[in-house]
Amino acid sequence: MFIDDLPTPALIIDAGALEANLATMAQAWPGNRLRPHVKAHKCSALAKVQQRFGHSGFTCATPREISGLAKAGIEADFLLANESVDPARLGAIAGTGATVAVDSDETVHAAARAGIKNVLIDVFVGLPRCGVEPDDAARLADLARSLRMNVRGVMGYEGHLMMVADATAKRDQVSAAMDTLRGCAEKVGGDVISAGGTGTWREHLDTGITELQAGSYALMDTQYATLGFPFRQAVHVVGTVISRAAGWAVADVGLKALGMDHGNPEVDGYDVWFCSDEHVTFAVKRDPNAHGAPTFLPKVGERVLVAPAHVDPTMSQHERAWVHRDGLVVDEWAIDLRGW
């Protein structure tokens, strides 16, 4: 079967591009220096490929991502890099030995009550989301230890710096955020300093963290593509043209097949006008410098490739991904870590 034979919309993963991305990252961040973030793909089969590239730990955003990886037979050093006060869900992952991020008395107590043995102190490093105030990190670590949990170290996610355009500003701001985090690490104890993402994979080579939490690098999206990294677009949604007018065409890849929080997707070779629930409307490129772009619209029944603007919430819209090599479908992977 070829990707042109798939019912659409079909999530497809280019195995060659994926492997190239994993190889590039594993060279810069080998073994347990990288803790791949599975929220970016929610696919245990893809996590197994990441294991084959040498990584022995995973970052997760939901308890179900961890329990799903375990259910798929993956034994690894799991990190729930997110706060939870849900006793049932924390209890369900305690048996995996998972490490859980905590940033408040409530989350420390919830982890302890659920039988969690290992925690990281999640430190605020500038992104207004989770993370304890740096001045309070050591106290929180003491609280966790008093409840007989092992404090493995600290984490801090500088998500607000992923897309900083100026290279010098980005390096300086990441460096400053990590000065804060390293300072906390000394006071907190443990040997883990976990931070970063695909957007700051290069900056962190000099920040002294012990592990990088990157996810998007594996499959990529059009937003990260703007940063010029050596990672290729490895995931697309294949669509079928279902309607064509004089000035536009419509394919069956809509809001429910894409993550839309970063805006419209790209349709390979065309200008995207807008998406509806089950449609993307696109037209011939207006840019006169778009050399090589099609000057005619595809016909009804022809296929188009749609590249998502944000990979994480695109993956979670699909039940499965089709893995291909040069268009030949070689595998089918369940997106089995969806939900909570």
CB 306 within 8 A of CB 280: yes
Task: Give which of 293, 307, 328 is closest to 258, Cα–Cα.
Answer: 307
State the binding string over 195-234 for a copy of itself (x if CB under 8 A, else -): ----------------------------------------
Q: Could you give the CA distance from residue 334 to residue 315 in angstroms, rounded to a whole number?
A: 10
- What is the rounded CA–CA span in Å between residue 177 and residue 290? 40
Distance between the two ends of the chain, CA-based, in angstroms?
33
- 256 is a site residue for a copy of itself (CB under 8 A): yes
Long-range pairs of 325-332 with CB within 8 A, sequence gap ≥ 24: 325/14, 325/15, 325/16, 326/16, 327/2, 327/3, 327/4, 328/1, 328/2, 329/1, 329/2, 329/3, 329/5, 329/6, 330/15, 331/15, 331/45
Contact in structure between 61 and 114 (CB atoms under 8 Å): no
Does 299 help bind a copy of itself (rule: CB under 8 A)? yes
Among 227, 260, 272, 329, binds a copy of itself (CB under 8 A): 260
Among 61, 144, 174, 181, binds a copy of itself (CB under 8 A): 61
Which residue from 62, 99, 198, 233 is in contact with a copy of itself, where contact means CB under 8 A?
Answer: 62
In the region spanning residues 31 to 60, those forming contacts with a copy of itself, defined by CB under 8 A, are 39
| DSSP E strands, 216-260 | 235-244, 249-251
Under rule CB under 8 A, residue 240 binds a copy of itself: yes
Partnered with residue 78 across adjacent β-strands are 58
Q: Which CB atom, from 26 or from 102, has the smaller least distance to a copy of itself?
A: 102
Given 169, 300, 328, 330, the residue binding a copy of itself (CB under 8 A): 300
Does position 259 bind a copy of itself by CB under 8 A?
yes
DSSP element (H, E) containing 330: strand 328-334
Closer Cβ to a copy of itself, 61 or 174, answer by number: 61
Pick the stretch among 45-53, 78-86, 190-198, 289-297 that binds a copy of itself (CB under 8 A). 78-86
Q: Which of these ranges, 7-15, 19-27, 193-201, 204-212, lies near a copy of itself under the rule CB under 8 A?
A: 7-15
Q: Is 245 in the site for a copy of itself (CB under 8 A)?
A: yes
Residue closer to a copy of itself (CB basis): 8 or 26: 8
Does residue 241 contact residue 227 with C-beta atoms inside 8 Å? no
Size of site (CB under 8 A) for a copy of itself: 58
Residue 286 CB coordination number (10 Å): 7
The reply on whether position 255 binds a copy of itself by CB under 8 A is yes
Residue keyed to tokens 């090599």 = 325
For a copy of itself, which residue of 73, 288, 292, 301 counts as binding (CB under 8 A)?
301
Report the number of secondary-structure helices (H) and strands (E) in the chain.
9, 16
| Site for a copy of itself contains 290 (CB under 8 A) | no
Contacts with a copy of itself by CB under 8 A lie at 7-9, 39, 61-62, 82-86, 88-89, 103-104, 106-107, 124, 128-131, 133, 159, 240, 242-248, 250, 252, 255-256, 259-261, 273, 275-279, 281, 299-301, 310, 312-313, 316-317, 319, 338-340
